[in-house]
Amino acid sequence: MKHKKIWLSIATIITVICLALVGAGFYFFKVACVPGQKSFIAANTTQIKKTDPLYKEKKWYAAAKKQKWYMQSAGGNYRLDANYIPDGKSKKTVIILHGYMNNKDTVGSYAALFHKLGYNTLQPDARAHGQSQGKYIGYGWVEKADVKKWIKKIIKKTRAKQIVIFGVSMGGATAMMTAGEKLPHQVKAIIEDCGYSNVKAEIEHEAQDLYSMPAVPRFPLVEILSGINRIKVGYFMGDASSVNQLKKNKLPTLFIHGNKDTFVPTKMVYANYKASNGPKELWVVPGAKHAKSFVTHPKAYYEHVKKFLAKYVK
């Protein structure tokens, strides 16, 4: 009888721990994968200040005439929203992909950069961001199918002959993940800025960096979170790998990453760069924090992008 009580007590403790871990998993799923204002992300702002190194670019974007484009997401569940800014009779178009909990307007300065280079620009709001519908954040793994649809829409509406995919942070990861897919011949190059190597690896890094979470309970919590994500969003986080997608990539790719990036660790860019099988270039930007390479070195950023594209987009 005494042994039975001991085993019941142990079983009760194990059950309580398991329930607590599952509950914590759902909490962190909401933090990581459900859209909304995040305490660890600065609030979006499109405010223009003359002291901003990208003042001219942001002012240009604010004044630019934008066409509204809409599309149903891959799978047809959500209405997606985008801005398209034409550049005369150019047959070159770049798709600009924003970061986590940002939107199409927060990457307006990049639109100015590419217009200066003679490109039309398409800036979509990722699903569950900006004015696009969506229930969960897919970290690029889900969104790569939407990017493929945007590419087809560009070709159909504009007869674009050359397309570049560009992205920052989550947008950079989305660009790399898209690069591993079968794409139309019009897609000529990829530029990614500070994208992560793997969704699970990034989540594990943030658990440690933001919450100072030790290996235990970080290990079971991230696994539980990944399982919840599989049920609700459709994939295990460990499967969402930029590295594995880049192994299938043959397109010319420019990798950019700040050497002071602690949000997406700089070391991730080396794994991404190594994995890519097409022509590739790497620029690790001195002094730049996460997604700050352009604002930290505007002229050098422009020149790196210009020289890279001149080789592959004529």
Beta carbons within 8 Å of 240's beta carbon, 6+ residues apart: 139, 140, 141, 177, 198, 199, 200
Q: Where are the beta strands (DSSP E) in 86-235?
A: 92-97, 120-124, 162-168, 187-193
Q: What is the per-residue DSSP string for 144-155?
A: HHHHHHHHHHHH
Distance, CA of 166 to CA of 10 (rounded, Å): 54
CA torsion through residues 55, 58, 62, 65, sign:
positive
In eight-state DSSP terms, residue 89 is T
- pLDDT at site 46: 65
Given pLDDT bands bounded at 50, 70 and 90, which one contains residue 8? low
Identify whether the C-beta of residue 278 lies closer than 8 Å to the C-beta of residue 252: yes
Place of tokens 């290996």: 215
User: pLDDT tens digit string along 209-224?
Assistant: 777 666 555 678 889 9
User: pLDDT tens digit string along 233-267?
Assistant: 999 999 999 999 999 999 999 999 999 999 999 99
Task: Provide the percentage of residues in the chain whose pLDDT is more than 90.
Answer: 77
User: pLDDT tens digit string along 175-198?
Assistant: 999 999 999 999 999 999 999 999
Given pLDDT bands bounded at 50, 70 and 90, which one contains residue 43? low
Please say if the pLDDT value at position 40 is more than 90.
no
Distance, CA of 76 to CA of 187 (rounded, Å): 23
- pLDDT at site 110: 98
User: pLDDT tens digit string along 69-125?
Assistant: 999 999 989 999 999 999 988 999 999 999 999 999 999 999 999 999 999 999 999
pTM of the model: 0.92
Identify whether the C-beta of residue 103 lies closer than 8 Å to the C-beta of residue 125: yes
Distance, CA of 53 to CA of 56 (rounded, Å): 8
The order of strands in the sheet holding 67-72 is: 67-72, 79-85, 120-124, 92-97, 162-168, 187-193, 253-258, 280-285
Please say if the pLDDT value at position 161 is more than 70.
yes
